[in-house]
Amino acid sequence: MGIETDGSGSRRRRARIVSIRPEINAPSPAASRSSGIARYILLFFLAFVAVLLCTGPVVEPYDEGVILFGAARVLHGDVLHRDFYANYGPGQFYSLALLFEVFSPSILVERLWDAFTRALSPPLVFAILTGTGLFGGRRWIPATAAVAAVVWLASIGFPGYPVFPALAATLASVACLAPVLARRRSGPARGARLVAAGFLVGVATAFRYDVGFLVAVTEVAVLAARFLCSGPPVRVAAREAALASLWFGLGLALLAAPLILAYVAAGAIDGFVLDIVTLSSRSYVQMRSLPPPGIAALVGNPLTWAVYLPLVAVAAATAVVLAMARQTTDRARIWPVVLLAAITLAAFAKGFVRISGIHMAMAIIASLVLLAILVACARRLGPVVQTLVAVAVILAGACTELEAAQGLAVLARNTAWLRSGADCRTPGGLERLRCFETETKRLDAVRYVRRETAPDEPIFVGLGRHDKIFENDVLFYFLAGRPSATAWHHMDPGVQTTAMVQRRMVAELDRRRTKVVVIETEWDTVAEPNGSAVGSGVTLLDDYIRAHYQPVAHFGDIAVLRRVSDSGPDPGPDPR
Domain layout of the chain by residue ranges = 29-409, 431-563
Residues in the chain: 576
For residue 339, which phi and psi values (nearest 5 degrees)? -60, -50
Neighbours of 322 (CB within 10 A): 13
pTM across the whole model: 0.89
End-to-end CA distance of the chain: 104
User: Which ranges in 120-187 belong to alpha helices (H)?
Assistant: 121-131, 140-155, 163-181
The predicted-structure confidence for 312-361, as pLDDT tens digits, reads as follows: 999 999 999 998 888 766 667 888 899 999 999 999 987 778 887 788 89
Strands 516-520, 558-563: parallel, antiparallel or unpaired by DSSP? antiparallel
Nearest to 69 by CA among 414, 546, 446, 439: 446
Please answer whether residues 63 and 158 qualify as being in contact, where contact means their C-beta atoms are separated by less than 8 angstroms: yes
Rounded distance between C-alpha atoms, residue 68 and residue 62, angstroms: 10
Task: Give 34's Cβ-side CA count (13 Å radius).
Answer: 5
pLDDT tens, residue order, the chain (576 aa) = 444 444 444 444 444 434 344 444 445 555 556 667 888 999 999 999 999 988 888 999 999 999 999 999 999 999 999 999 999 999 999 999 999 999 999 999 999 999 999 999 999 999 999 988 888 778 899 999 999 999 999 988 889 999 999 999 999 999 999 888 877 555 677 889 999 999 999 999 999 999 999 999 999 999 999 888 876 677 888 888 899 999 999 999 999 999 999 999 999 999 999 999 999 888 888 898 888 888 887 777 777 888 999 999 999 999 999 988 887 666 678 888 999 999 999 999 877 788 877 888 999 999 999 999 999 888 888 889 999 999 999 999 999 998 898 888 888 888 877 777 666 766 677 889 988 889 999 999 999 999 999 999 999 999 999 999 999 999 999 999 999 999 999 999 999 999 999 999 999 999 999 999 999 999 999 998 999 999 999 999 999 999 999 999 999 999 999 999 654 444 444 445
For residue 567, which phi and psi values (nearest 5 degrees)? -150, 110
User: Which ranges in 208-327 belong to alpha helices (H)?
Assistant: 209-228, 234-266, 269-272, 281-288, 295-300, 309-327
Could you say which DSSP state residue 516 is in? E
Q: 141 CB contacts (<8 Å, ≥6 apart)?
A: 129, 135, 372, 375, 376
Chain-centre distance for alpha carbon 333: 29
Could you say which DSSP state residue 484 is in? B
The reported pLDDT for the residue numbered 9 is 47
Nearest to 292 by CA among 311, 281, 308: 308
The reported pLDDT for the residue numbered 328 is 61
Q: Where are the beta strands (DSSP E) in 365-513?
A: 459-463
The predicted-structure confidence for 396-419, as pLDDT tens digits, reads as follows: 999 999 889 888 888 888 887 777
Strands 516-520, 549-555: parallel, antiparallel or unpaired by DSSP? unpaired
Rounded distance between C-alpha atoms, residue 374 and residue 320, angstroms: 7
Specify the long-range contacts of residues 31-40, CB closer than 8 Å, at least 24 apart. 39/123, 39/126, 39/143, 40/123, 40/126, 40/127
The reported pLDDT for the residue numbered 186 is 59
